[in-house]
Each structure stands twice: as C-alpha cells, then as structure tokens.
Amino acid sequence: MRPIHLSSKIFLDSGDPAETKKAIDVLGFLDGQTTNPTLLVKVPEIGEMKANGQVTRENIFPLYKGIVQNISSLIPDGSVSIEVFADYSTTTDDMLHQAYEMYSWIPNAHIKFPIIPAGLAAAQKFSQDGNRVNMTLCFSQNQAAAVYSSTNGAQRGSTFVSPFIGRLDDIGQNGISVVRNILQMFNNSDHHVEVLAASIRNVNQLMAALALHSDIITIPFSVIDDWAKQGMPVPDEQFSYNTPSLQDIPYKDLNLQLPYTEFDIQHELTTKGVEKFMQDINTLFA
C-alpha cells in the first residue's frame, strides 16, 4: 500500500515484465516503469534468444514492442518510457521515425530522447505534436533548462527530465544536488517538466530523492525490495544525505525563456551514456 506521506511517484527501472509483477506485489502499487537499451539486454527472454542467435536488427523492434506492451498491460494507468536507439550519428529525423512508431505501441508511452542536439530537436517537434517525452541522460542544470525550453507549451505530465544520481556520485559529484537544483529552478515555472530522479543505487539515495519531493523516482527492483523490507519509510525535509566525499554542485540562476540552443548541454557522462546504450544494443547482434 502507498505510504500516506509519499508525494513522489514511484517507477520501476527495468525492462523485464516479470520484475513489474514482483514490484507490484512487493509495494502494492506502481506508478510507472522506465526502460532503455541496457535494460533490454538484461531481460532473460532476450538473453536466451541472443544465446541462440535469434536476435537480429530486423526483429529487435518487434521484441522491444512485445516487452513494453506486456509491461503496459500490467500498469495501464501508469507511464512506460521507451527509448529510441540513438547515438551522436543519429539524425533528428531518424529519432522521430523511431519515436512515432514506438509511441503507437502502447497508450501510456513516454518516449525517451537523449539530451544531445538532435535529441532536443526531436523532442521539440514530438512535444509540439502533443506527444509525451522523457529526456534522459541528464547530468546538469543546464541540460534540464534546455529540456524546459525545447518543450515549452507542453501540458504537465507530458514531459519528464531524468537526472542520473548514481553516475554523478561515481565521479565524486553529488548527484542529489543536481536534482535539488533542477527542482529549485522549476519552482517558479509553469511546471510542465516533471523531474524524474534516476540512476538510484541504494535506499539512501532513494531517501534523499524522496526528501526533495522529486516528482518521480525510478528505481531498480533490488532497491524497491530493500525499501519495502524497511517498511517503505518516507523522510521529511530534514533528511541529510550525508556524503562528505562528494562535491556539491552549486545552483545556477538560468533564464528558462531562452531558446534551448542557448544552453550548454555538453557533459562527459551524457556522451559516455549514449555510447554505452548503443554498445549494449550492438552486443545483442554479436
């Protein structure tokens, strides 16, 4: 059962419908699910097919479609994020071609575009057509500002931005501070962009995101299970994410009304993340 004081939506970060069922069973609820190419590789069904040489470039989309349709049927009132297959060589038109196809797979899709120039251009067009997006691989306040600007005019609930906490922590920066800064930046906005805290590695990071009242938090099943075993605690604003070894990231005063092209969206972790996702997909065809 949903905790009384829980204000954030809880998503499962997984490409496996079996974990969707387990998460619903453990929590008693589930508000949505995020999928991506890396998670697709981890689905047992896909792994078995890969071992038998049955995964090809021709059937990967139908396989992905079947998986997300299964997930969608389990959480029909939630959101399911589906990610385009893209790297820095993928054009805006290529991303849009994928996005429109993927969006037709289920009625509750958010399409994930990477926060790179072609991804923002695709998101702008896709959003202007009234479709839902989840802008992924966010590691900076500037990137979140660009997402806001590129999707200006969208309805609340139709646009997510996903700052990755764990990956920033991995390089000695406090990922929670990026979530905090983005939420603060959006305080006086129209709130059409919702903050989806991602790359959660443990319950302590989950507690920190809950204390900030992140709009949405996506977590792997292992963390969901740990949280449930602890009684699904919900911290108040006084919760301290005590990480003296991590460098805090300072807040920037940014003008959200600037064109999205005015924001510096470069980040080494975005570059690595885009490359990693495509590498994971390519391993399926080895």
The per-residue pLDDT for range 4-26, each reduced to its tens digit, is 999 999 999 999 999 999 999 99
Please check the confidence at residue 42 and state whether its pLDDT lies above 90.
no
| Mean pLDDT of the region 155-183 | 96
| Mean pLDDT of the region 70-81 | 98
pLDDT band at 241 (very low <50, low <70, confident <90, very high): confident
Catalytic residues: 112
pLDDT band at 62 (very low <50, low <70, confident <90, very high): very high
Could you tell me the two tokens for 176?
């929670």
pLDDT band at 151 (very low <50, low <70, confident <90, very high): very high
pLDDT for the residue numbered 286: 59
Percent of the chain with pLDDT over 70: 100
* 166 neighbors 160 (Cβ within 8 angstroms): no
pLDDT mean across residues, the chain: 95
Q: Domain spans of the chain?
A: 9-283
* 82 neighbors 110 (Cβ within 8 angstroms): yes
Q: Which residue has the tokens 């820095």?
A: 88
* 102 neighbors 82 (Cβ within 8 angstroms): yes
Contacts with 244 (C-beta within 8 Å, 6 or more apart), sequence order: none
Q: What is the DSSP letter of 17?
A: H
* 209 neighbors 197 (Cβ within 8 angstroms): yes
pLDDT for the residue numbered 283: 85
**pTM for the full model?**
0.96
Tens of pLDDT, residue by residue over 102-134, are 999 999 999 999 999 999 999 999 999 999 999
72/82 Cα distance (integer angstroms):
11
Residues forming beta bridges with residue 217, ordered by sequence position:
10, 197
Write phi, then psi, for 163 (nearest 5 degrees).
Answer: -75, 135
Give 9-283's CATH code, choosing from 3.40.50.2000, 3.20.20.70, 3.30.70.20, 3.30.70.260.
3.20.20.70
pLDDT for the residue numbered 238: 85
Could you tell me the two tokens for 69?
């349709």
CA-based end-to-end distance of the chain: 43
**Rg over CA atoms, the chain:** 18
Distances, alpha carbon 224 to alpha carbons 165, 168, 197, 220, in Å: 16, 21, 14, 6
pLDDT band at 38 (very low <50, low <70, confident <90, very high): confident
| Mean pLDDT of the region 139-154 | 98
